[in-house]
Amino acid sequence: MKNLISIISMILLFFIVIGVVLYNDYAVQTLSSISTKKAYVAIIIDDFGNNRNGVKEMMDLDIPITVAVMPFLPYSVQDAQYAHKKGLDVILHMPMEPNFGKPQWLGKKAITSKLNNKEIRDIINESLNEIKYAVAINNHMGSKITQNKRIMREILQVLKERDLFFIDSKTTSKSVSKTLSNDLGIVCLERDIFLDNKKSYSHIQKQMNILASVAHEKGYAIAIGHVGPEGGKITAEVIKKMSSELKKQGIEFVGITTMKNIIEINNNN
């Protein structure tokens, strides 16, 4: 009897061990498939046009960043031309009035709530004529403007006429950009992550990891970083290091035009 119990115990132990091994192997394969599942990331870098810290480093990255150029600055045309020659997507980084902030932060010919409809359209058209390679617009600051239906409708109408699209930097949760864009039948993309709202290596690294998680969760994600005092060379350094690591996890970096196409296909499926 004792021998029979021993044999049964050994058989049970054998199957338990086999079960654990098979489960661990399944878990490893599952985690591996999750980490290498393809997801798309577009990184927009704001504030080009004023020869700020990190311009060269950003332009020389081996991933296709999207170059957001502010208009009417000393290097606006030069930065847009250089990015275009390198095959990078260029967008107009349009200064817009915030709820809080100093007027001088906006630079020349910003979109403010005091402008009438014609003045708004004239400024947007003039800005796009200067940054002639722009495929889209995103807002510089603009928390006050992006929640103003009258003003945003004028901006978006110009984009529709030029067959361009809008990228909401999401500087306010009250933005009406998405709703109005849907009404007008144009594409409006939205920022998921700010990379360098804190200028430290560890914080930007953390944001890159969050960016990857968001992309894996929904299939794509859009981030915004900066040249100049908000990010510059530090942001470029982190992106350069982290992008190679994230590629191994199934992240593919794309320009904003490709991202628009991916999102449209995803929404239609």
**Res 20: pLDDT:** 39
pLDDT, averaged across the chain: 90
Query: Cα(76)–Cα(50) distance, rounded to whole angstroms?
Result: 7
CATH 3.30.1550.10 holds for 43-268: no
Q: What is the pLDDT of residues 112-140, one digit of tens each?
A: 999 999 999 999 999 999 999 999 999 99
Residues 6+ apart with CB under 8 A from 8: none
**Res 9: pLDDT:** 53
Least reliable range by pLDDT among 34-38, 106-110, 121-125 = 34-38
pTM of the entire predicted model: 0.86
**Res 80: pLDDT:** 98
**Res 37: pLDDT:** 74
How many other C-beta atoms can be found within 10 angstroms of the C-beta atom of residue 124? Answer: 23
Query: Do 91 and 134 form a contact (C-beta atoms < 8 A)?
Result: yes
**Res 16: pLDDT:** 47
pLDDT, greater one: 43 or 21: 43
